[in-house]
């Protein structure tokens, strides 16, 4: 697969891609945010920037959603679970053969 990317902010996106590739499994947006900002505190993303990068860059692919079960331990019904939990996107990396800078 050949991926075309603009040069602006490319180094930061490629660092993020490399880190996620090393992990080797899908991650939620929160996990990616914490991992990248812990590794590179001076170059970190805000949550808004990270959401834009993950959704608009062809290096990353949204593969599903995950509910946070830790917030609804005592709830019994589906309605309570649905409204007391948060839903996070699951992201995975796209493997490419060649990268073209536009």
Q: How many residues does the chain have?
A: 102
Q: What gap in Å lies between CA 91 and CA 94, rounded to an integer? A: 10
The least confident of 7-11, 42-46, 56-60, 82-86 is: 82-86
* Phi, psi (deg, nearest 5) at residue 91: -120, 145
What is the fold, at CATH topology level, of the domain defined by 2-101? Arc Repressor Mutant, subunit A (1.10.10)
Q: What is the pLDDT of residues 12-37, one digit of tens each?
A: 999 999 999 999 999 999 999 999 99
Of residues 51, 47, 88, 91, the one with CA closest to residue 67 = 88
User: Bridge partners of 99?
Assistant: 3
Question: How far apart are alpha carbons 87 and 83 in whole angstroms?
Answer: 10
What proportion of the chain, given as a percentage, has pLDDT over 90? 44
Say what the pLDDT of residue 20 is.
92
- Binning pLDDT at 50, 70 and 90, where does residue 2 land? confident
- The domain segmentation of the chain, as residue ranges, is 2-101
Structure tokens, 42: 């001076």
- The answer, as to whether pTM is greater than 0.75, is yes
């Amino acid at each position: 697969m050949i991926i075309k990317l603009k040069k602006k902010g490319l180094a930061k996106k490629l660092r993020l891609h490399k880190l996620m590739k090393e992990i080797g499994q899908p991650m939620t947006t929160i996990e990616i945010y914490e991992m990248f900002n812990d590794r590179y505190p001076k170059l970190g993303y805000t949550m808004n920037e990270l959401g834009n990068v993950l959704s608009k860059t062809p290096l990353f692919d949204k593969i599903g959603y995950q509910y946070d079960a830790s917030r609804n331990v005592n709830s019994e019904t589906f309605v309570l679970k649905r409204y007391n939990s948060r839903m996070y996107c699951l992201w995975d990396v796209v493997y490419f053969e060649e990268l073209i800078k536009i």
